[in-house]
Amino acid sequence: MHCTQDAPTASYSPARKHRRFDLRFPVSLSFAANGVPRALDAISKNVSVGGVLVEAGDQVPLRTQVSWTMNVVGPRSRRPVVLLGEGEVVRVESIGSGTGFVIAVKCREPITEIEEHLH
């Protein structure tokens, strides 16, 4: 996988396990709610090797197992890059004023491509 994007802003605090990259790309979440398959479109706020934080118009219940797909595209990309991941929803917060939710997903396996290609 090759990812040639403008250098994203990275944030890191000593309390965090992984450095976060402020990336805003389309994300599709897939999960089951009450046994019914659902899909939810979102936009990433930040990404780390251990998870992804997204904004969405609807919420996903805490502890829900999700699969996600992120389409990484930009003006300096030679081609779109698709990142795939699976994990568990570990935090859900209302953005306020009924505008949506922030959803944190902890990945089962590290997203090593992010660390390798985004410095």
Return the CATH number at 24: 2.40.10.220
- Domain-embedded: residue 2: no
> How many Å apart are CA 105 and CA 88, to the nearest integer?
5
Dump pLDDT digits (tens) for 16-70: 566 788 889 999 999 998 889 999 999 999 998 889 999 999 999 999 999 999 9
Amino acid at 101: F
Give dist(CA 62, CA 41) in Å, integer: 17
**29 near 40, Cβ under 8 Å?**
yes
Residue with tokens 């929803």: 89
72 in a structural domain: yes
Confidence of residue 110 (pLDDT cuts 50, 70, 90): confident
Domain count, the chain: 1
Residue 47, in any domain of the structure: yes
Sign of the torsion angle spanned by Cα atoms 2, 7, 11, 12: positive
Under a CB-based contact definition with an 8 Å cutoff, are residues 63 and 89 in contact? yes
Q: What was the pLDDT predicted at 31?
A: 97
pTM to 2 decimal places: 0.76
- For residue 12, is it within any domain? no
Task: Give me the percent of the chain exceeding a pLDDT of 90.
Answer: 48
Mean pLDDT, rounded, of the chain: 80
Whether 8 has a pLDDT exceeding 90, the answer reads no
* Alpha-carbon torsion angle 71, 55, 58, 99, nearest 10: -130
Residue 8 lies in a domain: no
pLDDT band at 96 (very low <50, low <70, confident <90, very high): confident
Q: Is residue 71 part of a domain?
A: yes
Domain that holds residue 71: 20-114
